Amino acid sequence: MTFNDIFKSSFLDNISGVSLTDMCIALLLAFCIGLFIFLIYKKTFTGVMYSSSFGVTLIALTMITTVVILAVTSNVVLSLGMVGALSIVRFRTAIKEPLDIAFLFWAIAVGIVLAAGIIPLAVIGSVVIGLVLLFFVNRKTHSQPYILMLSCDSHNAEKQAEDFIRNQALRHVLKSKTVQKGLIELNMDIRLKDDNTDFINILSEMEGVKNAVLVTYNGDYMG
C-alpha cells in the first residue's frame, strides 16, 4: 500500500464536513462568550493603560480558535497541514500584565471547547471564571501605597512632621534621607488609614516644612 492509497481509503471517505448549522451556532456562541470575556476584562482591568484593541482581540481570538478547531476536526488532511503551518508562527508581542495571559488562554480554551461541541462546559465554565475574576481582582486586600516626599528646613521641623505623619498614617517607613545645609529631604513609604489625603495640606503648612508631595506608585491607571 502506497502513501496515496492511505489517503484514498474509505477512512477519509467516511469523514463528513461541518454542517452550516453547526458552524453558525459555534461562531455565534464564540462571539457571545468572547464578548463576555471582553466585558470581564474591562471590568477587572488594573493595568497601567487600558487598550480597547486587546479587548477586541479577545473576541476575535475566540472566534478564530473556533474556526480553526472546526476545520481540524472535520478533515484529517487539513489538520496535518494546519499543524505544520501554525508551527512556524511566532508571536513577538510582549504581555505587559500577568492577568492578560489568563484572558488569552480563556479565549483560546473557549474556542476549542465550542468547536468540540461541548457547549455547556464552555458556557458554564466561562460564567464561573468570570465571577471568580470579578471577585478576586476587584477585591481590595491591602491599603493603597504612597510615597511621601517631604522637605524641611530644620531637625525640629522634621521631628514635628514625623509625629504628625505617625498619627495620620497606618504605617510609614523611611526610604531615604538627604541632608544639606538648611534642608532635609525625606522619602517615606506610607499606608493611610483611609482614602482621605487632606492631611498633606495641613502638613505642607506646618512651620519649617518647605514642600510636601504625595504620590501613588502602584501604576494603576485607566484611560
Average pLDDT, the chain: 79
Residue 132 has pLDDT above 70, yes or no: yes
Q: Is the dihedral of CA 193, 163, 179, 173 positive or negative?
A: negative
Q: Give mean pLDDT, residues 38-61.
A: 84
pLDDT in tens, 64-111: 989 888 877 776 656 655 655 565 556 566 677 778 889 989 999 999
pTM (whole model) above 0.85: no
pLDDT at 10: 47
pLDDT at 223: 38
Instruction: For residues 38 and 2, give the distance between their C-alpha atoms in angstroms, rounded to a whole number.
Output: 50
Q: Give mean pLDDT, residues 169-192.
A: 86
Instruction: Name the residue type at position 32.
Output: C
- Structural domains of the chain, ranges and CATH numbers in brackets: 3-137 (no CATH), 145-216 (3.30.70.1150)
By CB atoms closer than 10 A (0-12, 13-18, 19+), residue 20 is exposed
pLDDT at 222: 39
Please, which pLDDT band fits residue 196 given cuts at 50, 70 and 90? confident
pLDDT at 32: 95
pLDDT at 82: 62
Residue 145 has pLDDT above 60, yes or no: yes
pLDDT at 141: 52
Residue 152 has pLDDT above 80, yes or no: yes
- Residue 138 has phi, psi (to 5 degrees) of -85, -5
* CA 159 to the chain's CA centroid: 42
pLDDT at 220: 47
How open is the CA angle 92-94-98, to the nearest 5 degrees? 140
Judge whether 188 and 148 are in contact, CB under 8 Å.
yes
pLDDT in tens, 200-209: 888 888 888 8
Residue 121 has pLDDT above 80, yes or no: yes
Instruction: For residues 26 and 170, give the distance between their C-alpha atoms in angstroms, rounded to a whole number.
Output: 53
Q: Give mean pLDDT, residues 111-131.
A: 91
